[in-house]
A and B are shown apart, each in its own frame.
Chain A
Amino acid sequence: MSGATSRATGGTTATAVKPDRAARPATMAQALQRAMRDAMAEDPAVHVLGEDVGTLGGVFRVTDGLAKEFGEDRCTDTPLAEAGILGTAVGMAMYGLRPVVEMQFDAFAYPAFEQLISHVSRMRNRTRGAMPLPLVVRVPYGGGIGGVEHHSDSSEAYYMATPGLHVVTPATVEDAYGLLRAAIASDDPVVFLEPKRLYWSKSDWSPEAPAAVEPIGRAVVRRTGRSATLITYGPSVPVCLEAAEAARAEGWELEVVDLRSLVPFDDETVCASVRRTGRAVVVHESTGFGGPGGEIAARITEQCFHHLEAPVLRVAGFDIPYPPPMLERHHLPGVDRVLDAVARLQWEAEN
């Protein structure tokens, strides 16, 4: 699955840079590390903290080398306590620092929810703008890596339901760098969801000439098509691209929209695509009931109803606790399930 990002990432131009700085294969984990490294080099206010982020470089090695380069005061191994990590980061941000917090795994971030919901998300609001809270919470999320219980949750719906947070998730190496730089530069708190099964996905990428850091909140069309729109994000983007490729055999030209940002939500890009295609399927790993797909389907229905040829469908994880690793393939939305949904889009009605 992780090899399927080549279409999504494409190639960055390396013509303007020196030969030793030319684009070379880089993983998403490396791009994320580079984003933090560059932000820390540019701004002494940027601090990284979390469990095992220092000496070890993080369990996914995303903070590899940061403590060595910037010292343990800038990249800090904290005690093992997520509420404490985020709570102290709030205090650091109150004093003018820009903390980047790593939560080790999706499900390990839950102890920090009170800090996130009661403080991080509303500090700007409660102080009527006097005290914004520039803070990034990095959360490896999603399944597909054979993780045992509590290592594979798709927790995005919890974050999306909390006003005051930005929620972003990259699907490509370029976006991993660009979005994380944008998140760290943002004066608002950002929950940065990292699809862990894409950590080792590769792209020819030049960190010295990274793609422009776009403002948070813009979706991107990864593949154009006229038959239907697949709306997706993070770990499901490669799945949808693969499905779109396979759908050509059925005569369907599927458009793939990578949301990149769940909050703010890019209604404009999504609706423009759905108005073109008249059909939409939302694809994500998160549970269907109460998941992001319901909100997205409702928004499309409200804004594009008269352009729709079929109900907006959802391909989501089942409404079950995340399965044990040997059963997870049944849970994760795969290419076949996406194509099945596309097949159900009332094609006969058109003819």
Chain B
Amino acid sequence: MTVQELPGAASYRPTPPPAWKPRTDPAPLLPDPEPYRVLGTGAVDGFAPELLRRLHAELVRGRRYNAQATALTKQGRLAVYPSSTGQEACQVAAALVLEERDWLFPSYRDTLAAVVRGLDPAAALTLLRGDWHTGYDPREHRIAPLCTPLATQLPHAVGLAHAARLKGDDVVALALVGDGGTSEGDFHEALNFAAVWQAPVVFLVQNNGFAISVPLAKQTAAPSLAHKAVGYGMPGRLVDGNDAPAVHQVLGEAMARARRGGGPTLVEAVTYRIDAHTNADDATRYRGDTEVAAWRDHDPVRILERELTGRGLLDEAGIRAAAEEAEAMAARLRERMNADAVLVPDDLFTQVYAEPTPQLRAQAEQLRAELAAEVEGDTR
């Protein structure tokens, strides 16, 4: 029996499949192809002069902070320092768009953002000094611990923002990640959860061109990192990451959107890591001077200063005051870091569980005895 001979074959009409349509219109989610800019476009007229001067002062302070921290590694006062030199506009804007009740989720390269948010620089640098891991109470400052495993802080930001919304609190979480971090699975999972839950969270990707030595071209084939947002059903925004007012504006809009229940946004800030990955890295092995020089011309401090002085919003005295304030901050930081760290070996055991286990109590006792014997040996 052939198919044609099957009973009813002649009268068979296929049932149409159930209607399908896209769940979200992708068009409004797409980022503009060009990074958003304020400086050099005239758009700076729309900004309050106080904000612009604040951005400038913080950039100058941030640049000095990066230089000082790098110098401290050379003096052996910090174990390692991943510099954000060249990325100060992202760091400063990220901190300044937050309300006091909001939360910041930084990576290890984002100590400056924590400092601009108000954290004591010595506390921000605890991890990198090495006297403990997190040198501050995250809840007191609403700054999550500096996160070293890439992108793993992103789901934390989503969960915290989700919890705040469940409790009815007006809290937005801002999570920082680098271009390399966008390749991690946790980046994907965090953005997906955020969009499904419509969590009040903003993701800022600081695309500084390199994941240690690996350039973005080897990291992704996406049109831009901001385009990745569309796949999750959230808007993507592309911004010049060295243009502080532009980053401030784009992040501010994303924060406002999250705050009014509009859900998450992915912001890609295009910037450049002027220094090597850390003091232990040699950037000459993977990039040329010409490229670095081009980005130095587009330096966040320089381009803001040029625009503000050109428009009469900043004068020599203002520039000098910012520099002096930055110098004073650096001096205080040097003083703090040159003092020997206070180490409490007992905390190794007391802060593992609420109550140390019997085994940890025994090990703590062992270490105490060893330390006592050391002291006795020294004094003998």
- B residues 139-175 with Cβ under 8 Å of A? 139-140, 144-145, 149, 152, 154-164, 166-167, 173
What per-residue 1/0 map shows which CB atoms of A165-187 lie under 8 Å from chain B?
01000000000000000000011
Rounded to whole angstroms, the CA-CA distance of A28 and B320 in the bound complex is 72
B10 part of interface (Cβ distance < 8 Å): no
- B residues 194-231 with Cβ under 8 Å of A? 196
User: Given that A95-B160, A265-B359 are contacting pairs, would A127 and B190 also be in contact in the complex, using a CB cutoff of 8 Å?
Assistant: no
A18 part of interface (Cβ distance < 8 Å): no
A67 part of interface (Cβ distance < 8 Å): no
Rounded to whole angstroms, the CA-CA distance of A86 and B189 in the bound complex is 11
Measured CB to CB, the nearest residue on chain B to A91 is B159
Rounded to whole angstroms, the CA-CA distance of A111 and B357 in the bound complex is 28
A-chain residues with CB within 8 Å of residue B154 when the two chains form the complex: 87
B137, B140, B159, B353: the one within 8 Å of A92 (CB): B159
A267 part of interface (Cβ distance < 8 Å): yes
What per-residue 1/0 map shows which CB atoms of B104-147 lie under 8 Å from chain A?
00000000000000000000000000001110111110001100
Q: A264 near B357 (CB under 8 angstroms)? A: yes
A-chain residues with CB within 8 Å of residue B144 when the two chains form the complex: 94
Query: Which of A7-15, A77-85, A319-327, A335-343 binds B?
Result: A77-85
Rounded to whole angstroms, the CA-CA distance of A91 and B140 in the bound complex is 15
Interface footprint category on B: 35 or more
Rounded to whole angstroms, the CA-CA distance of A268 and B185 in the bound complex is 43
User: Given that A118-B149, A131-B139, A188-B353 are contacting pairs, would A78 and B155 also be in contact in the complex, using a CB cutoff of 8 Å?
Assistant: no
- B residues 339-360 with Cβ under 8 Å of A? 347, 350-354, 357-359
A119 part of interface (Cβ distance < 8 Å): yes
Q: B192 near A87 (CB under 8 angstroms)? A: no
Q: A81 near B189 (CB under 8 angstroms)? A: yes
Q: B350 near A129 (CB under 8 angstroms)? A: yes
User: Given that A81-B189, A87-B189, A263-B357 are contacting pairs, would A96 and B152 also be in contact in the complex, using a CB cutoff of 8 Å?
Assistant: no
Give chain A nearest CB distance to B266 CB in angstroms: 16
Rounded to whole angstroms, the CA-CA distance of A84 and B232 in the bound complex is 14
B-chain residues with CB within 8 Å of residue A217 when the two chains form the complex: 357
B186 part of interface (Cβ distance < 8 Å): yes
B-chain residues with CB within 8 Å of residue A127 when the two chains form the complex: 133-134, 137-138, 145
B139, B140, B188 interface centre (most CB from chain A within 10 Å): B139
Give chain B nearest CB distance to A133 CB in angstroms: 10
Rounded to whole angstroms, the CA-CA distance of A95 and B136 in the bound complex is 16
Measured CB to CB, the nearest residue on chain B to A126 is B133
A88 part of interface (Cβ distance < 8 Å): yes
Rounded to whole angstroms, the CA-CA distance of A128 and B134 in the bound complex is 7
B-chain residues with CB within 8 Å of residue A36 when the two chains form the complex: none
Q: B156 near A94 (CB under 8 angstroms)? A: yes
Q: B193 near A84 (CB under 8 angstroms)? A: yes
Q: A97 near B132 (CB under 8 angstroms)? A: no
Q: B155 near A115 (CB under 8 angstroms)? A: yes
A-chain residues with CB within 8 Å of residue B157 when the two chains form the complex: 91
Q: B155 near A132 (CB under 8 angstroms)? A: no
B136, B137, B156, B185 interface centre (most CB from chain A within 10 Å): B156
Measured CB to CB, the nearest residue on chain A to B199 is A88
A54 part of interface (Cβ distance < 8 Å): no
Q: A126 near B358 (CB under 8 angstroms)? A: no
A73 part of interface (Cβ distance < 8 Å): yes
A-chain residues with CB within 8 Å of residue B359 when the two chains form the complex: 264-265, 267
User: Given that A125-B352, A164-B352 are contacting pairs, would A92 and B163 also be in contact in the complex, using a CB cutoff of 8 Å?
Assistant: yes
Q: B357 near A131 (CB under 8 angstroms)? A: no
Rounded to whole angstroms, the CA-CA distance of A188 and B355 in the bound complex is 9
Give chain A nearest CB distance to B191 CB in angstroms: 9
User: Given that A95-B167, A126-B133 are contacting pairs, would A88 and B152 also be in contact in the complex, using a CB cutoff of 8 Å?
Assistant: no
Give chain B nearest CB distance to A222 CB in angstroms: 22
A91, A129, A265: the one within 8 Å of B351 (CB): A129
B-chain residues with CB within 8 Å of residue A131 when the two chains form the complex: 137-139, 145
B-chain residues with CB within 8 Å of residue A79 when the two chains form the complex: 189, 192-193, 196
Q: A115 near B152 (CB under 8 angstroms)? A: yes
Q: B353 near A164 (CB under 8 angstroms)? A: yes
- A residues 36-87 with Cβ under 8 Å of B? 47, 73, 78-79, 81, 83-84, 86-87
A96-B163, A164-B353 given; name 16 further pairs at CB < 8 Å.
Answer: A79-B192, A84-B189, A84-B190, A84-B192, A88-B156, A91-B159, A94-B138, A95-B164, A114-B149, A119-B156, A124-B354, A128-B134, A131-B139, A217-B357, A264-B353, A267-B358
Please provide the 5 A-B residue pairs with the shortest distance between their CB atoms, ordered closest to farther.
A91-B159, A87-B155, A84-B189, A88-B159, A91-B160
A interface list, Cβ under 8 A from B: 47, 73, 78-79, 81, 83-84, 86-97, 99, 111, 114-115, 118-119, 122-132, 163-164, 166, 186-188, 217, 263-265, 267-268
Q: Write 5 A-B pairs (CB below 8 A) sorted by A numbering.
A: A88-B190, A115-B155, A130-B139, A131-B137, A217-B357
